[in-house]
Structure 1
Amino acid sequence: MRHTLLLLILFFSGLDVEVLNPPPKSKHTFIVIAHRGDHVIYPENSLEAYREAIKNEADYIEIDLRTTKDSQLVSMHDSKVDRMANAKGALSSFTLAELKQLKLKAKDSTRTYRIPTFAEILKLAKGKINIYLDFKDADPAAAYKMICQYHMEKQVLVYINSEAQLTGWRKAGPEMPLMLSLPDSVKTVAGMQQFTQKYHPDLLDGDYSQYTRNMLLHAALTGYPVWPDIQSATEDANWDKAIDKGLKGLQTDHPAMLVKYLKGKGLR
């Protein structure tokens, strides 16, 4: 009753509803985002991890985009290859040909895994799964050109890491849905409203724990999908809390487990 009353108050107060670029369509009402692919079995940000996420019915694969020495777009989370591959150094100091010779570290030593290009990921995902593009270090115009080349404009949202990226993407692809994280300090409706009025994102991220039910009601009323991070080794202990708050999407390290859990709750 308390939340219904708040909704009515907001509605009759004349609160402006934002006109936003909508996120890619999904057949599910609760969105599951596979963080760096389904990397419980396969190396993160590998084509195999992305295929596993598709098989396990995730709605999005989260990929990290970076640029090689010869201006090619590839997916790796870290700015250096040290943690994930059999080499050392900044990813940007390698050409694409050099990166393609590297092997990704994996639990399964009998198979060889490679660093994927953005083009390979787009081809893999087309018509199968949406892409959550964590825009680490690349040129928005170059990335958008490739998205258009593969006719994937309706299957990609872009996670923004800086004001420069926000400006670049609004110029390069003005109809692309852009996601921003709420600062950790924002934990109220007023704080969230100040943030969205300043930056005008199309979707909101952050940590699931910082959102209250009232914040989520306000976000829904003003047109902001909220799909925050919950990923951790023990995240399943917090899934009930996230759903009880009213969240309709989560970025997870365990997409197969989360999908199974949601099916058990009748939310999938």
Structure 2
Amino acid sequence: MKRIYNFILLLCLVQLAVAQNRIAEIRENLLGNYSDRVLVVSHRADWRNAPENSLQGIQNCIDMGVDMVEIDLKKTKDGHLVVMHDKTINRTMTGKGNAEDYTLAELKAMRLKNGAGCKTRHQIPTLEEVMLLCKGKIMVNIDKGYDYFQEAYAVLEKTGTIDHCVIKAGLPYERVKAENGDVLDKVIFMPIVNLHKEGAEKIINDYQLHMKPTAYELVFNDDNEEMLRLIRKVRDSGAKLFINSLWPELCGGHDDDRAVELHQPDDSWGWILNQGAKLIQTDRPALLLEYLRKKKLHD
């Protein structure tokens, strides 16, 4: 009996070490200078095969080898952070109204819908449930969640996953520093910059002057010379590039559907790679992973 116990203990320790190595590897790729490795970020998890922002969708991403899942946050009537993109639950759940109109128990009594709008068996997850699932396995990108920055940080602290998370906001440095300066240096914070909007370069300059972020999420609706100049500016600063391939207006027309439906992956994902992107957020994680692996840019 003692031998069996020791074997189980050893197996658990091995699994823990492997999990810790996985997160350490992803962070090293993100924070280091490895031009031969690109990180895949799955938008709202694997929403084509499971309800968006669901635990099953996240587990699918873990199983396929995705590096990071993107999630969004809302707060319930009784103060719990749940994972939900829309302001209302109308599109993605079996109920109606805002998440903040319901307690967590009331939301848990409902069910998530799949991409076709059909009821599933899945429940809305809390941020804590998500972080415990992801712990040691995959990083998490909190997109629509800046309004809950401090509360989200408390959950990360509680679950021991501060090093698993990237928090983003499309706001100038001065506001982010004023509102969350006490924890800003404890997490990976990524500014979102819309390059085609007025004042984009000033936002970049201010972040570079005061913070020097690890990475920027760059959004651009055209691939003209001015957009390319700003992309080069960020890249040449030493920061990593996070580029969305979700739809054309986010990446100057070099999107997922161009890669998959038009069979032009080199003109979409390949173009993004040529800009020096370190992270690509996609709605087609399995196919992007396959493309990167063929180019020996992903394990």
* TM-score (normalizing by structure 1): 0.80
Does structure 1 residue 94 correspond to structure 2 residue 106?
A: no
Residue 25 of structure 1 is matched in structure 2 by 28
Tell me the distance in 2 between the aligned counterparts of 1:195 and 1:75. Answer: 31
Does structure 1 residue 44 correspond to structure 2 residue 52?
A: yes
After superposition, give the CA deviation of every residue in 1:86-142 in whole Å (9 maximum; x if it has no partner): 111011111100110111112596850111100110000000000101143643222
Which one is further off, 207-216 or 244-253? Answer: 207-216
After superposition, give the CA deviation of every residue in 1:15-73 in whole Å (9 maximum; x if it has no partner): xxxxxxxx933488201100000111111100011011111111100010111111101
Out of 138, 141, 144, the residue aligned to residue 150 of structure 2 is 141
Tell me which amino acid in the other structure corresponds to 2:142: L
The answer to whether the 8 A contact 2:196-2:221 is kept is no
The answer to whether the 8 A contact 2:195-2:220 is kept is no
The answer to whether the 8 A contact 1:60-1:132 is kept is yes
Tell me the distance in 1 between the aligned counterparts of 2:258 and 2:297. Answer: 18
The answer to whether the 8 A contact 2:111-2:120 is kept is no
After superposition, give the CA deviation of every residue in 1:129-156 in whole Å (9 maximum; x if it has no partner): 0010114364322211110111111110
Identity across matched positions, percent: 25
The answer to whether the 8 A contact 1:33-1:251 is kept is yes
Does structure 1 residue 185 correspond to structure 2 residue 188?
A: no
Residue 288 of structure 2 is matched in structure 1 by 258
Does structure 1 residue 118 correspond to structure 2 residue 118?
A: no
Tell me the distance in 2 between the aligned counterparts of 1:255 and 1:219. Answer: 25
Higher relative contact order (CA 8 A, sep 6+): 1
Which one is further off, 105-114 or 47-56? Answer: 105-114
Tell me the distance in 2 between the aligned counterparts of 1:166 and 1:82. Answer: 34
Residue 257 of structure 2 is matched in structure 1 by 234
The answer to whether the 8 A contact 2:112-2:120 is kept is no
Tell me the distance in 2 between the aligned counterparts of 1:188 and 1:138. Answer: 23
Residue 6 of structure 1 is matched in structure 2 by none
Tell me which amino acid in the other structure corresponds to 1:38: D
| Equivalent residues, number | 246
**Structure 1 unaligned blocks of 5 or more:** 1-22
Out of 183, 195, 198, the residue aligned to residue 172 of structure 1 is 183
Which one is further off, 247-256 or 186-195? Answer: 186-195
After superposition, give the CA deviation of every residue in 1:147-198 in whole Å (9 maximum; x if it has no partner): 0111111110101144555543322343211112212426999667435347
Alpha-carbon shift at residue 208 of structure 1 (Å): 6.1
Tell me the distance in 2 between the aligned counterparts of 1:31 and 1:235. Answer: 20
Tell me the distance in 1 between the aligned counterparts of 2:119 and 2:91. Answer: 19
Does structure 1 residue 194 correspond to structure 2 residue 205?
A: yes
SS of structure 1 residue aligned to 2:82: strand
Tell me the distance in 2 between the aligned counterparts of 1:156 and 1:215. Answer: 26
Tell me the distance in 2 between the aligned counterparts of 1:97 and 1:178. Answer: 31
- Bigger proportion of residues as helix: 2
The answer to whether the 8 A contact 1:38-1:253 is kept is yes
Q: How does 1:69-80 map to 2 (within 5 A)?
A: 69-80=77-88
Residue 223 of structure 1 is matched in structure 2 by 238
Tell me which amino acid in the other structure corresponds to 1:160: A
Cα gap change, 1:108 to 1:210, in 2 (>3 Å) = closer
Tell me which amino acid in the other structure corresponds to 1:25: E
Tell me the distance in 2 between the aligned counterparts of 1:261 and 1:42. Answer: 22
